[in-house]
Amino acid sequence: MTWFDIIGSLAGTFTTISFVPQVVKTWRSGCAEDLSMFMFSLFSAGVLLWLIYGIALGSLPIILANGVTLVLASIILLLKIRYSLRRRLSEMAGGE
């Protein structure tokens, strides 16, 4: 493993881990109103492209970092959709 691989692995680890607190907070609070669907959708698309790029290059640090980040960002998106639907159904039923 070269120094560049180590740097890439550390960068990927730090940026990937940065999503964990948001996933945990969103899950625990049951609320994702303040999160931008547009931003997370664009971000997820970009991460998917980075993942494809990493696969094409055969770069393990890029593949691992973006694969895990895509999973975490997708969880946030799914929670955003789930909680938004739940809120809308509650509003339609007349409850809060």
Note the pLDDT tens digit of each residue in 67-79: 999 999 999 999 9
Let me know: does 56 contact 92? Beta carbons within 8 Å: no
At residue 46, does pLDDT exceed 90? yes
CA 82/CA 69 separation, integer angstroms: 20
pTM value is 0.81
Domains and CATH numbers, the chain: 33-96 (1.20.1280.290)
- What does the DSSP 8-state code read for residue 87? H
| 5 Cβ neighbours under 8 A, 6+ residues apart | 60, 61
| 85 Cβ neighbours under 8 A, 6+ residues apart | none
